[in-house]
Structure 1
Amino acid sequence: MLSLPIALLIGALAAGLRLLATRRSVADRARLAESSLLERYVRLPAEAVPFVRLGLLAAGVVAIALATGSGGAEARRLDETGAETILLLDASNSMLAVDVEPSRLQVQRELAARLATRMEGRIGVVYFAGRAYVLSPLTTDVSAIEMLAEGVRPAAVGLGGSSLASGLTQSIDLLAGGEEGGRKSIVVFSDGEETAGPSFGEAIGRARDAGVVIHAVGIGTAAGGQIPLTREASLDPTMAARRRGGASVLQGPDGNPVVTRLDERSLTQMTSATGGRYVRGSDGIAAIERELARGTRDPVTSTEDAAVAALLLLAFVSLWGEGFLLPRG
């Protein structure tokens, strides 16, 4: 946080430079002609105008210095607990199902992006389908995390299937490279289906031994839905045999449409084993937000944001008035 005395010093420096420029302008006019002659042919500004412009410039510079020195949302994330959280996002084709509106994938995007803006500490992002990828290491760059959360899609991974074990393993490895002693958490967004890779039992054991708490957000319904083959679907070549006859939905080996259902059993198993919370969709997501913010300072959305906005507005009005409203001379 930039202190007020330093901001005032910056404003005084800007005002001093403007004062030197004003004096030079006056000296140039004096060399050009006598003041009585200039007043006959040139409309000079009132004597007070240069000082008003000087004050507006100083106010604008001080406001900008205070606003930019406030640190913003990223600085407020660095809380004393050293919290580190991985958003584990499901990029399997089953997330294209529309048993929840507008689709599982869109619900996941919105919830993950919302959670990213409300959490404290550093955040990482991992996508998983048939395998897992680290999309972002632990960072305080909220904008980047939001962008990755909103951009998740099956085509980004390219290997069909759904391996929760792979995603959890990548997430735990990422947290292992973080700071020691802080709160470490994983938030899984998924329909809970496992169709590829080994069971996640070993990964759960690793998380428990490392003190990593796993929360889960189940997306989908027990009744389930079919998987539309949209342009966001995985481009994995192994899926080609299941796109029979230009079908619009994914088909199984028997030629019938695949129906994907929410598997809450797997999600509750990983959360209960590590002391985390399980919620379904947007129901109860606030509980996970509170859990991740426990023991930290104010959330990102605080009155400090309003103060920064007010300072920037003051800076704009002051500098606009100094540059365009008052006459120059």
Structure 2
Amino acid sequence: MELDEKIYLYLLFILPLLVLLFLYNQYWKRKKQHEFGDLELIKKLSPEKSIFKPVLKLVVLILALIGIILGLVNPKMGTKMETVKREGIDIVFAMDVSKSMLAEDVAPNRLDKSKQIVSQIINQLGNDRIGIVAYAGSAFPVLPITTDYGVAKMFLQSMNTEMVSSRGTSLDEAISLSATYFDDKSKTSKLLILISDGEDHSEGAETAAEEANKLGIKIITIGIGTEKGSTIPLKRNGIVESFQRDNNNEVVVTKLNEESLTTIAKATKGGYINGNDTKKVVEYIKNTLNTIQKTEFESTQMADFQSQFQWFLGFAFMLLFLDVFFLERKTNWVKKLNLFNEKQ
């Protein structure tokens, strides 16, 4: 099952509030009745008033709202799994999540800018398979090769500077881990898009790029940041508390190092582009993809997905229609059954 608009599930939090509001209303009514006079006398004055009907109306309303909310979410169900033939390439995004990516020399900061670029690139893709790697002082697999762009974007937005514990930036480990995502035996074209500010605290990035080139992997590097550089703000609840300092207690100024990124790209006959202009980057990647040979491959997916919202909305509107006929007075035939052994 697949959910189209998951955000509407938050509306379910309204339901407990309705129950609390109903209980409070019943308490308030009983309190006022007690102030007005004897409860037994009030019952005799309104013998047709049902205690059960308000509860029934509440249950019907809640079920109707659940139906409407599920209708808005639009569950989709597939009838079977099938193997689909696609034509595209394999792409791995290696994203720098080191502390330096918190620098705000590009808005809103380097990491968020990277997410924007990758998200826009994904929007331009068709049948390509994609994977995501995060790296700082070490590399971390985030998402294996997949054709599910929705899941990829979800993982992309969750990336942060806390997901890799080791400090620094090791571009060589990012390249090496990304290379393992690709199938060596497959003839599918392989592209690694590496996003970073270029600050590298390792020494083997060029060697790793050369090894990737031997495996048929082309690397495109995208530089995020400015040559002037910026400090690294450390925030709590959105408020800057301090700035990143080095071992000498000096405030760190991180700068874009285009030279290292250009060297990596050249080692695989790839290309480098400054990532501060998202539109230009997306256009550059799009043009590059057009020059790369597409290969046919197979992927397994749920076929014949069909929207199911109409069933939930139909159920909800039927309940709302029935609710109109549920008066708060006792139903005669139920009253005759005397289910609660009430005195006649």
* TM-score w.r.t. length of structure 1: 0.61
Q: How far apart are 1:289 and its partner, in Å?
A: 2.6
Q: Larger deviation: 135-144 or 316-325?
A: 316-325
In the alignment, which of 230, 246, 249 is matched to residue 225 of structure 1? 230
Q: Deviations over 1:14-56 (max 9, x none)?
A: xxxxxxxxxxxxxxxxxxxxxxxxxxxxxxxxxxxxxxxxxxx
**Partner residue of 1:284?**
280
Q: What displacement does 1:189 show?
A: 1.0
* Offset at residue 68 of structure 1 (A): 7.0
Q: How much does 1:214 deviate?
A: 0.5
- In structure 1, which of residues 161, 165, 182 is the aligned counterpart of residue 168 of structure 2? 161
SS at match of 2:212: helix
Q: Which residue of 1 is the match for residue 26 of structure 2?
A: none
Decide whether the 8 Å contact of 2:172 with 2:208 is kept in 1.
Answer: yes
Task: Quote the residue 2:108 is aligned against.
Answer: 102
Pairing 1:1-329 to 2, within 5 Å after superposition: 79-81=86-88, 83-119=89-125, 120-176=127-183, 180-195=186-201, 197-231=202-236, 248-281=242-275, 282=278, 284-287=280-283, 288-292=285-289
Q: Structure 1 or 2: larger helix share?
A: 1
Which of the pair has more CA radius of gyration? 2
Residues 316 and 182 of structure 1: CA distance in aligned 2, closer, same or farther (over 3 Å): same
1:146, 1:228 → 2: CA distance? Answer: 26
- SS of corresponding position for 1:248: strand
Aligned-partner Cα distance in 1 for 2:79–2:172: 41
1:91 CA drift (Å): 0.7
Secondary structure at 2:228 match in 1: coil
TM-align CA RMSD: 3.8
1:178-198 CA distance string (max 9 Å, x none): x60001010111101102x33
Aligned CA distance change for structure 1 residues 223 and 180 (closer, same or farther; 3 Å): same
What amino acid is the match of 1:192?
Answer: G
Contact 1:228/1:250 (<8 A) preserved: yes
In 1, Cα distance between the equivalents of 2:267 and 2:227?
23
| Contact 1:79/1:296, CA 8 A, preserved across alignment | no
Contact kept, 8 Å, 1:86 with 1:125, in 2: the verdict is yes
State the 4+ residue runs in structure 1 displaced beyond 4 angstroms.
Answer: 67-71, 293-297, 311-325
- Provide the C-alpha distance between the structure 2 equivalents of 1:93 and 1:146, rounded to a whole number of angstroms: 22
Structure 1 CA distance for aligned equivalents of residues 316 and 171 of structure 2: 55
Does the 8 Å CA contact 1:110/1:150 hold for their aligned counterparts?
no
**Change over 3 Å in CA distance of 1:247–1:205 after alignment to 2:** same
Higher relative contact order (CA 8 A, sep 6+): 2
Write the letter of the residue equivalent to 2:286: E
Closer, same or farther: CA 231–289 of 1 in aligned 2, 3 Å: farther
CA distance in 1, matches of 2:109, 2:179: 28
> Which 10-residue stretch deviates more, 98-107 or 140-149?
140-149
Measured in 2, the distance between the counterparts of 1:158 and 1:171 equals 19
> When you count strand as a share of all residues, which structure comes out higher?
2
For residues 79 and 108 of structure 2, the distance between their equivalents in structure 1, rounded to whole angstroms, comes to 38
Please report how far the alpha carbon of residue 169 of structure 1 lies from its aligned counterpart in structure 2 after TM superposition.
0.4
Matched-pair contact (CA < 8 Å) for 1:92–1:129: yes
Partner-residue secondary structure (3-state), 2:221: strand
Query: How far, CA to CA, are the matches of 1:221 and 1:110 in structure 2?
Result: 17
Change beyond 3 A, Cα 1:70–1:277:
farther
Contact 1:80 1:296 in 2 (8 A): yes
| Per-residue deviation, 1:216 | 1.4
- Contact 1:84/1:123 (8 A) holds in 2: yes
Cα distance in 2 for residues equivalent to 1:156 and 1:69: 34
1:247 and 1:286 mapped to 2: Cα distance?
Answer: 35
**1:93-120 Cα distance to aligned partner (Å, 9 max, x none):** 0000000111111101111122223223
Residues 277 and 79 of structure 1: is their aligned pair in 2 closer, same or farther, counting only changes over 3 Å? farther
Q: Which moved more, 1:140-149 or 1:166-175?
A: 140-149
What amino acid is the match of 1:284?
A: K
Q: Cα gap change, 1:155/1:321 in structure 2, threshold over 3 Å: closer, same or farther?
A: closer
Give structure 2 stretches of 5+ with no counterpart: 1-73, 296-304, 322-344
